[in-house]
Amino acid sequence: MTFSPNYVNSYAHFGIHETMLKDSVRTHTFRTAILDNPHLFRDKVVLDVGCGTGILSCFAARAGAARVYAVDCSHIVDQTRLIVRKNGLQDVITVIESRVEHLQLPEAVDIIVSEWMGYFLLDEFMLPSVLHARDNWLKPGGLMFPNKASVWLCGCDDAELRAEKLDFWHDVCGVDMSCMKSFSISEPAIEIVPDNHVTTTIHNVLSLDLQTCTTADLRFISPFQLRALRPNKLQAVLGYFCVSFTHGREPLQLNTGPMCDPTHWKQTIFFLDDTIPMDNNELLTGVIAVQQNKNNERDLDIALEYKFNGNMAIRCNLLRYRLR
């Protein structure tokens, strides 16, 4: 009996692709954005940045693109080539294994399609690679799919989630591990929050025009204020993102907020140190700061500071987070 030599690399990627492709909100939104707009894709040259299994390239080819360059730096491209051939699109789609920063194309492109979003929009920091591709390969007047992105915050009172993630540590099979709570507060949870737990207004803390924004825009400090929509016990600030496709006949949005169908990005939950009882119309104000981690370029540093000035005394807290 023999053993196979090298599945480890493939496996890591494989699991990710399965998760992403099974996120039907994600896949169907990109499909609609591309296939419903053949007038934009017909006879055009398209670049798919971080193509993975090549599904967006297949959509672009079926929407009438003349040529599609599908680029990914992982070994998944061996599978992508098989998929392209299996679907009879090998005359349209060229699969290229390359870091996008080292990419060499024979021509500039009319459209860039890319699904680059991570948790809280920016985690994994793939967007700079997409912007690099845009600056180097997109023709003047060329189109980005998606072309807008935004990040939003709101307050939530999911006591059950707080109990599960934080209070849990007080009694673990009879052992007091409450010091572990600080980890659960320091690191945001990635969970789906039902929309009935959203108890405040939502606040936009980042808006990107992907046609023009630069990498510098991904480092930001933004104030926010969340107004209670009803009396509630605020447990956490919740973050999520939207991306939009507005070049097509009908503008289309992929919204990962709690009021929309769940996606594999779920929501990003920043637990407060303590529960805050809020009356209707009371305000939680704060500042969020986000930057790329200096040691690991795929990591995101998030600092969140908030103040509550309602029936309670003024509170001021500094929390520090980093996503995986």
Q: Which residues are catalytic?
A: 115, 124
Is residue 101 classed exposed, middle or buried when 0-12, 13-18 and 19+ CB atoms within 10 A define those classes?
exposed
Q: Does 315 bind a second copy (CB under 8 A)?
A: no
Task: Pick between residue 182 and residue 311 the one whose CB is nearest to a second copy.
Answer: 182
| Separation CA 190–CA 138 (nearest Å) | 34
Token readout for 47 is 């670049």
Q: Is 320 in the site for a second copy (CB under 8 A)?
A: yes
Which of 176, 209, 261, 274 contacts a second copy by CB under 8 A? 176
Per-residue CA distances from 22 to 19, 25, 28 (Å):
5, 9, 10
User: Minimal distance in Å, beta carbon 191 to a second copy?
Assistant: 13
SS (H, E, C) 93-144: EEEEECCHHHCCCCCCEEEEECCCCECCECCCCCHHHHHHHHHHHEEEEEEE
- Residue 316 interacting with a second copy (CB under 8 A): no
CA 112 to each of CA 69, 103, 175: distance values in angstroms, whole numbers, following the listed order:
10, 14, 54
- Number of C-beta neighbours around residue 198 at 10 A: 22
What is the closest distance, in whole angstroms, from the C-beta atom of residue 272 to a second copy in the complex? 17
Query: In angstroms, what is the minimal distance from the CB of 205 to a second copy?
Result: 14
The answer to the question of residue 1 lying near a second copy (CB under 8 A) is yes
Side chain identity at residue 178, one-letter code: S
DSSP letter at 314 equals: P
Residues 206 to 245: which contact a second copy by CB under 8 A?
A: 221
Nearest residue (CB) to a second copy, 228 versus 254: 254
Q: Does 22 bind a second copy (CB under 8 A)?
A: yes
Q: Is 301 in the site for a second copy (CB under 8 A)?
A: yes
Tell which positions 64-93 bind a second copy, by CB under 8 A: 79, 82-83, 86-87
Q: How many residues bind a second copy (CB under 8 A)?
A: 58
Using CB under 8 A as the binding rule, whether residue 3 contacts a second copy is answered as yes
At closest approach, how far in Å is the CB of 27 from a second copy? Answer: 5
If the CB atoms of residues 108 and 318 are measured against a second copy, the closer one turns out to be 318
Amino acid at residue number 321 = Y
CA 182 to chain centre: 25
What are residue 216's phi and psi, to 5 degrees?
A: -60, -30
Asked whether position 16 contacts a second copy by CB under 8 A, the answer is: no
Q: Quote the tokens at residue 168.
A: 């849990």
Residues that bind a second copy (CB under 8 A): 1-4, 7-8, 10-11, 14, 17-18, 21-22, 24, 27-28, 31, 53-55, 58-59, 62, 79, 82-83, 86-87, 168, 172-180, 183-184, 186-187, 221, 287, 289, 291, 293, 296, 299, 301-303, 305, 318, 320-322, 324
